[in-house]
Amino acid sequence: MQTRNFLIFFCLPLLLSCAVGYRQGKQRRGAVRKRMARPQHLLEDFAPISMAAGGAYGDGVAGLAGEQSHGSGVGKQCVESPSGCNVKEIFKPGDPKEKSSAIAVQAAQDAKAANEAQGAAGQAAAQHIKLELAEKAFQSAKAAEAALMGKQMMVDQLEQEVNEASAVIEQETNALQGTEINMKAAMDASRLASQQFQAFSELHKTFEQNLANIQTVAMGVQQEMSSKTQLLEAAQNRVTLLRKQLQGAHEDYEKTKQAAYKAACAAVDARQKASTSNNESPVSSQ
């Protein structure tokens, strides 16, 4: 896009200027070549102007043409009869005075014709210059028209680019509004997350304190459990010992009970025997 604008701004006017300059230079060189290389045709260029000016300049132009063709008198005769122009007949010998008089008269006529033709030539040259200026003005107008077309293309291109840029700006504005809404929502979410993080941090501190307390209690409970485990083991050992002692006491009790039962039975027997002996003694004494 920048390259195209550069071509429109710089290269197109430069090419148009080069083309116009080349054409003007070519026309100028052709006109100079036409005037300088073939001076005998100079009056032919101004023929329409001298014809339009009237017969006042006709004789002068013809005389100037005759003078430029061959000199005094010769050109006129050759122009009047180009097929029968004989140099020997024209330059035939005669009286020197007549020749000098004729030459003087012819020179006067040629000077008068040149003077009259000079005005026509000036008007023709002015008309030719006017035509050249008109051609230059026409070429300048064409160059200006081409430049105007280039400017119009540039304006159209810039208008299209402005419209595209306006559409892009509108899209970016809408996107920016959406981004602002999203940014506001993100900021609200960040603020809420910060509050939650602060709450979680405080809760984490509380949990750490509770965990430390629980660990302390757990250590105390563990120590208490260890001591109670030792007490339980001692109690279990004591119970085992007491059970053994109880079992021994039961066995001793059973033995003692058997012995006491036997002793009681023996005492009853002895008592019965003693009673029986006492009863028999009185009877025998009677």
pTM given for the model: 0.29
Is residue 64 within 8 Å of 113, Cβ to Cβ? yes
Q: Which long-range contacts (CB under 8 A, 24 or more apart) does 212-221 make?
A: none
C-alpha distances (whole Å) from 229 to each of 217, 222, 234, 237 are 17, 10, 8, 12
What does the domain layout of the chain look like in residue ranges? 1-78+103-146
Residue 102: Cβ-neighbour burial (10 angstroms; 0-12, 13-18, 19+): middle
> Over its length of 286 residues, how does the chain's per-residue pLDDT go in tens digits?
545 554 455 555 555 555 555 556 555 555 544 444 344 443 444 344 344 334 433 444 334 334 343 344 444 444 444 444 454 454 455 555 565 566 666 766 766 776 666 666 667 777 778 788 778 777 877 877 887 888 889 889 999 999 999 999 999 899 889 888 999 998 999 899 999 899 989 988 998 999 999 999 989 888 988 988 899 899 899 899 999 999 988 898 899 889 888 888 888 888 888 888 766 665 555 5
Residues sharing a CB contact under 8 Å with residue 146, sequence separation 6 or more, in sequence order: 12, 16
Paired tokens of 88: 């020997």
